[in-house]
Amino acid sequence: MTNNNNNNIPVNEMHWPLVDKADKKKPKIRDLPYCQGNRKQRLEQQRKALPIASVEKRLVEEVQKNDTLIIVGETGSGKTTQLPQFLLNGGFCHDGKIIGITQPRRVAAVTVAKRVAEECGVELGQKVGYSIRFEDVTSSSTRIKYMTDGLLLREALLDPFLSRYSVIIVDEAHERTIHTDVLLGLLKNVQNARSRSINKCLNIENTEANYGKLLKRENDANCVSILKRCQGVKFPSLKLIIMSASLDARGFSEYFGGARSVYIQGRQFPVDIFYTHHAEPDYVDAALITIFQIHLEEGPGDILVFLTGQEEIESVERLVQERLRQLPEGSQKLLTVPIFSSLPSEQQMKAFMPAPAGFRKVILATNIAETSVTIPGIKYVIDPGVVKARTYNAHTGIESLDIVKTSKAQALQRSGRAGRERPGKCFRLYPESEFGQLADSTEPEIKRCNLSNVILQLKALGVDDIIGFDFLEKPSRMAIVKSLEQLFLLGAITDDSKLSDPIGHQMARLPLDPVYSKALILASQFNCLEEMLIAVAMLSVESIFYTPREKLEEARTAMKCFSSPEGDHITLINVYRASDEFVEKIKQGNDKEKTEKKLRKWCKENFINSRSLRHARDIHSQIRRHAEQMGLCVASCGDDMLQFRRCLAASFFLNAALKQPEGTYRALASGQSVRIHPSSVLFRTKPECIIFNELVQTNHCYIRNITRIDFLWLPELAPQYYAVQN
Ligand code: CDP
Ligand code: MG
């Protein structure tokens, strides 16, 4: 391993001592060791010490003077937690309006809202709250509202002027998620429309007759569409703040007509960067070795490890526990804490609590810890240099989640996490020469994902001309056309590219990917909505089953009790129903907490990931409520699973595949050659014709979540595609 200070540490030659030791009890994170009064004082001191605290007055003035402001500041300088409080104190909510702050990630919205509620000394959900898909913790008294960018887009469907907000802060804009990009375009329109509404209300009486005259004078089609739906209402102007951790504010400023940008000086201690001598064939293993090397050889300080997803984090968690047992007794004081988006929020909070005295904390995180959340206490960062990212092939129309190399900007952000409170160290698990070859920055998501969801929402917002929409960065015409085609095939838009009634409107209302929304709508017609709600909920979470390497056979046997010869969808339904039956059985005589605990034990015995199952159960109850509100018929097909499989074929016909003589499959829509993933229950049986829900690209193109169908169902149930094309 090489270091830019020539201070060599041979990380890849490291061996941890293999000493047999009795199993030690995992330590629990204690509650904070100080009482309420002291905690309050300490929070106050921490707030005052943040770099942003010294510029409170100036920032409030800047927002008063500028309708659009770009704020750039080092991660941890206090932007996300402090600015909304400054604006609240600065009188921006005096008329009962709300300050909204959008985050690309659920975790950030939740943890930051909790922190700010605590800083303000209020109950979460009162003055300070958050709202994310499937979870709304706000009330009529909420003034500071954290939410995901996707959620604000949905709100705009019901309230096109976003009239409840006086200020909207788009946070983490440098991440350039697809929702952030679309939101910026939309907010630009809303801001224009709101200021025009003021002018008009000042100049002429806004009667319906006058409104017609107004429309004629307008030439901005998008603005008109918003105005059309808000006839005769007067709105105050909307303050827009774009916040970003990276230094390039120019793009945002130009997009908003030369908007003013301000910089907040951060506080960053030096970080020593270490590289490996050679490329590491297995980054998970290299990360493990490095964790133990730091633990045994370096001074105090917590470790932050960047991994690619829930499955990987959970497997590293188990491996660390295993290896820990082999260490001598005195050196076992290492505590693993996972943090990823779908982790239940009270478990996410554990990452922010200090480790018990004498313990070192290892935080195993996805790239949410890059900029979205600031975890105190980190001195060491381990960066394998990879991230899970969406990629989209506009030619085939297929989107997949792949593990790709980070950009230079991401690598710098990651190493920066080690120098927040004092000098730190960052271990990059790749050679220095590789760093030079990384892309400078990450390509915006809008350029590498399926656009059908976003297009559906824009259409529902009245934006008909998608190609003409003022995007910060335009997606390729090909990607737009492909997504429009997909929406047309799903029946969401008509052949003149208008949202169809009622299907398109119904689909836009459901907080799901368009194909899943369509599956629910179809299922109500096929009388199997009960089954489809479960399937969609289970498909919305990562890895329901877990198969530890050392217990592979046991896990396979456990899975057999649930598995269906028809495929993974029915298998998932079987798991869900078995968990339901179990909960029903134990509910009597047990309180909620006990029931949860017993369910976790049941999951463990059955090799089911209890976190994922719990998440799926939450999603299920939410989408069921949506379906009921929309008046869909929630019925079960009982034992008639043929009906359910036919509905799967009718819904996911774009993901059908046919077996080839050599045992691989050909995806019918794209012509791509794919293989059944070994985790599928159909891995061995290999039926002739299947539909699938997920594509994973590793050394091969694998498909997951698969069900057997009859080839002839395709022209029968999806004639709009198969009768014409194939
Ligand atoms: O947004 P920015 O990265 O500029 O900083 P922030 O999220 O407002 O965080 C400011 C400080 O608050 C961090 O340095 C953390 O020490 C602290 N914080 C925390 O302890 N717990 C949280 N959930 C959020 C922030
Ligand atoms: Mg922030």
pLDDT per residue as tens digits for the range 397-414: 777 888 999 999 999 999
What is the pLDDT of the chain when averaged over all its residues? 86
Residue 387 contacts residue 404 (beta carbons within 8 Å): yes
- 3-state DSSP of 697-709: ECCCEEEEEEEEC
Q: What value does the mean pLDDT take over residues 343-363?
A: 85
pLDDT band for position 375 (50/70/90)? confident
Whether 724 has a pLDDT exceeding 60, the answer reads no
First to last CA, the chain: 56
Strands 239-244 and 165-170: parallel
Tell me what pLDDT residue 234 has: 55
Indicate whether residue 111 lines ligand 1 (CB < 6 A): yes
- 98-103 and 165-170 strand pairing: parallel
The Cα 287–Cα 305 span in angstroms is 8
Closest CA to 57 of 90, 92, 84, 88: 90
- Which of 176-180, 384-388, 413-417, 543-547 is the least confident region? 543-547
Atom of ligand 1 nearest to the CA of 81: 8
Strand partners, 68: 240
Ligand 1 in contact with 645 (CB < 6 A)?
A: no
Sheet with 128-132: strands ordered across? 135-137, 128-132, 144-148, 98-103, 165-170, 239-244, 68-73, 260-264
| The token pair that represents 149 in the structure block | 């960018």
pLDDT in tens, 181-227: 999 999 999 998 887 765 554 443 444 344 444 444 444 455 555 55
pLDDT surpasses 80 at 547: no
Question: pLDDT band for position 556 (50/70/90)?
Answer: confident
| Cα 79 to ligand 2 centroid, rounded to whole Å | 6
pLDDT in tens, 476-490: 999 999 999 999 999
User: Cα of 81 to ligand 2 centre, how many Å?
Assistant: 7
Answer whether 352 contacts ligand 1 (Cβ < 6 A): yes
Residue 417 beta carbon below 6 angstroms from any ligand 1 atom: no
Looking at all shown ligands, the one closest to residue 112's CA atom is 1
Nearest atom, ligand 1, residue 349 CA: 23
Distance 108 CA to ligand 2 centre (A): 8
Distance CA 320, CA 461 (A): 49
372 ligand 1 Cβ < 6 A: no
- Give dist(CA 338, CA 366) in Å, integer: 9
Ligand 1 atom with the smallest distance to the CA of 376 is 16
User: What span, in angstroms and rounded, lies between the C-alpha atoms of 151 and 513?
Assistant: 14
Give the SS3 label for residue 379. strand
Whether omega before 17 lies within 30 degrees of 0, making that bond cis, reads no
Of residues 361 and 550, the one with the higher pLDDT is: 361
Please name which ligand lies nearest the alpha carbon of 119: 1
Radius of gyration of the chain (CA): 27
Judge contact between 368 and 105, C-beta under 8 A. yes
Question: 115 CB less than 6 Å from ligand 1?
Answer: yes
Confidence tier at 643 by pLDDT (50, 70, 90): very high
Which 3 state secondary structure label does DSSP give 326?
coil
Token pair 């240099």 is at which residue?
385
For residues 179 and 679, give the distance between their C-alpha atoms in angstroms, rounded to a whole number: 32
DSSP line for 31-73: PPSS-HHHHHHHHHHHHHHSGGGGGHHHHHHHHHH-SEEEEEE
Percent of the chain scoring above 90 in pLDDT? 62
Using the predicted structure, report yes or no on whether residue 392 has a pLDDT greater than 90. no
Between helices 79-89 and 106-120, what is the axis angle to 10°?
Answer: 50
Q: Which of 686, 658, 683 is nearest to 673 (CA)?
A: 658
- Residue entry with tokens 């990276």: 246
For a pocket test of ligand 1, which of 44, 83, 85, 115 has the largest count of ligand atoms closer than 8 A to its C-beta? 115
Cβ(374) – ligand 1 distance below 6 Å: yes
Identify whether the C-beta of residue 480 lies closer than 8 Å to the C-beta of residue 613. no
CB of 50 closer than 6 angstroms to any ligand 1 atom? yes
Range 418-447 average pLDDT: 93
Amino acid at 424: G
CA pair distance 245, 263, nearest whole angstrom = 10
Mean pLDDT of 233-247: 81
Distance from the CA of 374 to the center of ligand 1, in angstroms? Answer: 5
Instruction: Reply yes or no on whether the pLDDT at 16 is more than 60.
Output: no
H-helix or E-strand containing 344? none
Ligand nearest to the CA of 77: 1
Least confident of 101-110, 183-192, 263-272, 520-529: 263-272
| All structural domains of the chain | 39-264 (3.40.50.300), 271-443 (3.40.50.300), 487-708 (1.20.120.1080)
Taking the CA of residue 77 as reference, the ligand 1 atom at the shortest distance is 4
Q: What is the dihedral of CA 219, 224, 225, 231, to 10 degrees?
A: -160
484 in Cβ contact with 456 (< 8 Å): no
CB-ligand 1 contact for 416 (6 Å cutoff): no
Mean pLDDT of all residues in 665-681: 92
Distance CA 267, CA 264 (A): 10
Question: Which one of 115-124, 324-333, 545-554 scores highest in mean pLDDT?
Answer: 115-124
**Residue of minimum CA distance from atom 14 in ligand 1:** 76
Interatomic CA distance for residues 117 and 131, integer angstroms: 14
| The pLDDT of residue 462 | 87
Contacts of 379 (CB under 8 A, 6+ apart): 299, 300, 301, 302, 303, 418, 421, 422, 424, 425
pTM score, whole prediction: 0.82
For residue 567, pLDDT over 70 is answered with yes
User: Is residue 102 within 8 Å of residue 147, measured between CB atoms?
Assistant: yes
What's the whole-number mean pLDDT along residues 559-586? 95
Residue 85 Cβ inside 6 Å of ligand 1? The answer reads no
Tell me the CA–centroid distance for residue 202 and ligand 1, in Å. 42
Q: How far apart are CA 543 and CA 548, in angstroms?
A: 13
- The per-residue pLDDT for 591 is 87
pLDDT band at 645 (very low <50, low <70, confident <90, very high): very high
Q: Is the CB of 349 under 6 A from ligand 1?
A: no
Q: Which ligand is nearest to the CA of 103?
A: 2
**SS3 assignment, position 672:** coil
Angle at the Cα of 493 from the Cα atoms of 491 and 497, rounded to 5 degrees: 145
pLDDT (average), residues 291-304? 95
**pLDDT band per the 50, 70, 90 thresholds, residue 311:** confident
